[in-house]
């Protein structure tokens, strides 16, 4: 268990609640105990769920062990439990208190986020059983992107598909982007309401978001968390004709395609086996050509995504790297930035950075920042605001 402290980037909560935050992702569960008044994380721990959490069984036991590590010994230990939920659809545009109806709604949206919503729902059920008297709150990654204009959320497909089938862009990683926006404003000494940013969340899942004056104006993930950049096990955007070809020639069915694109693509597909970026970088350094290809492709697609999303902004003040790879792989950050010279982004050193910082030289064009992803802080704040308002 890690005990740490960090002052809030997004402002203090309305009153102090001790919030247990459970961030159930595609490859791990991150647990935090957060004081909502200043968003200090008094305890943190993380449990790996393997490369694919949706195939994990026995989640309640895993969460019970995590609560033990965090020192949560029953309902009297915490005031609320905040859960990260990836997909909120059009129904959930802000945090909500969880009841049976909300839980069914979260599960129904699993058809759009199969790697995430089912696991999140299972985690919520487990937390309700383990802490039956504690308020449970769901905070949604899609909510930050509710501000997208129609030219950004609508796809160029038959007009009726949105009304009839719900086909539209939602965007994800919103909790991370919200935190990164606030931290960037602090580090740059400027108001978020006056900044034009691109936030690159690079981790097991990857996305880029253009943020103008604190508002999401464009983002790379779409109807599902599969669109956009190359990721850990997900392909990101590819020619849709590939899928039509595989279906038409019966080389794969829909379930096989879903499994391949969600679980067997991205870094895993190119490198050839399940591994994190650190292992792949080590293999590349030792002469593994497929590992080097995986890194080069990841870097190229991340840079292309950043460049593309920046066109939604009137200018670019700063580029923020966050997420596991964005925070911890100095080599990937430096390689991505080298490709962005046409945008006025100056090179940054491939040097490890342990804390949030501006890593570019001052007063030399677009600022480059490294920010720790703190979805837990945003979830705790949203949970406290919801519960105290009610």
Q: Which residues are catalytic?
A: 141
- Bridge partners for 366 per DSSP: 345
Beta-carbon contacts of 255 under 8 Å, excluding residues fewer than 6 positions away, are none
In this structure, are residues 182 and 207 in contact, taking their beta carbons and an 8 Å threshold? no
Sheet architecture: strand order including 96-97: 40-48, 28-35, 18-24, 80-85, 135-140, 96-97
Separation of alpha carbons 213 and 193, rounded Å: 4
Q: Are 227 and 208 in contact (CB under 8 A)?
A: no
With contact defined as beta carbons under 8 Å apart, do 52 and 387 qualify? Answer: no
Q: List the one residue out of 165, 141, 166 whose CA is nearest residue 153.
A: 166
Instruction: Burial-class residue 150 by CB neighbours within 10 Å (0-12, 13-18, 19+).
Output: exposed
Q: For residue 53, give every residue at least 6 positions away whose Cβ sits within 8 Å of its Cβ, in sequence order, or none.
A: 24, 25, 26, 27, 28, 29, 115, 119
CA within 13 Å, CB half, 49: 27
**Concatenated DSSP letters for 321-347?**
EEHHHHHH-HHHHHHHHHTTGGGTBPP
């Amino acid at each position: 268990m890690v005990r740490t402290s960090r002052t809030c980037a997004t402002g203090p909560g309305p009153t102090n609640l001790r919030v247990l935050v459970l961030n159930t992702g595609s490859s791990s569960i991150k647990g935090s105990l957060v004081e909502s008044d200043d968003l200090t994380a008094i305890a943190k721990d993380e449990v790996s769920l393997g490369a694919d959490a949706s195939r994990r069984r026995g989640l309640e036991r895993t969460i019970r062990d995590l609560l033990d590590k965090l020192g949560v010994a029953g309902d009297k230990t915490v005031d609320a439990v905040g859960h990260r939920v990836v997909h909120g659809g059009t129904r959930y545009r802000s945090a909500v208190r969880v009841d049976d109806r909300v839980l069914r709604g979260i599960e129904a949206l699993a058809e759009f986020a199969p790697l995430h919503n089912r696991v999140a729902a299972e985690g919520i059920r487990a937390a309700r059983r383990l802490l039956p008297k504690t308020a449970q709150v769901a905070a949604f990654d899609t909510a930050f992107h509710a501000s997208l204009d129609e030219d950004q959320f609508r796809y160029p497909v038959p007009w009726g598909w949105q009304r009839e089938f719900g086909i539209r862009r939602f965007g994800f990683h919103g909790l991370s982007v919200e935190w990164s926006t606030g931290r960037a404003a602090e580090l740059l000494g400027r108001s978020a309401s006056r900044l034009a940013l691109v936030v690159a969340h690079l981790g097991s899942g990857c996305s880029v978001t253009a943020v103008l004056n604190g508002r999401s104006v464009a983002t790379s993930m779409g109807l599902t968390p599969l669109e956009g950049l190359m990721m850990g096990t997900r392909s990101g955007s590819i020619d849709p004709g590939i899928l039509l070809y595989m279906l038409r020639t019966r080389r794969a069915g829909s379930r096989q395609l879903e499994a391949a694109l969600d679980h067997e693509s991205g870094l895993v597909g190119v490198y050839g086996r399940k591994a994190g970026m650190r292992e792949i970088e080590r293999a590349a350094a030792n002469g593994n050509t497929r590992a080097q290809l995986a890194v080069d492709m990841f870097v190229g697609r991340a840079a292309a995504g950043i460049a593309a999303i920046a066109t939604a902004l009137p200018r670019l003040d700063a580029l923020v790297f966050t997420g596991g790879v964005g925070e911890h792989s100095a080599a990937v950050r430096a390689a991505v930035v080298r490709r962005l010279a046409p945008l006025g982004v100056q090179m940054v050193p491939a040097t490890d950075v342990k804390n949030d910082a501006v890593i570019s030289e001052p007063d030399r064009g677009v600022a480059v920042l490294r920010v720790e992803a703190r979805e837990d802080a945003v979830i705790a704040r949203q949970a406290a605001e919801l519960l105290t308002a009610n």
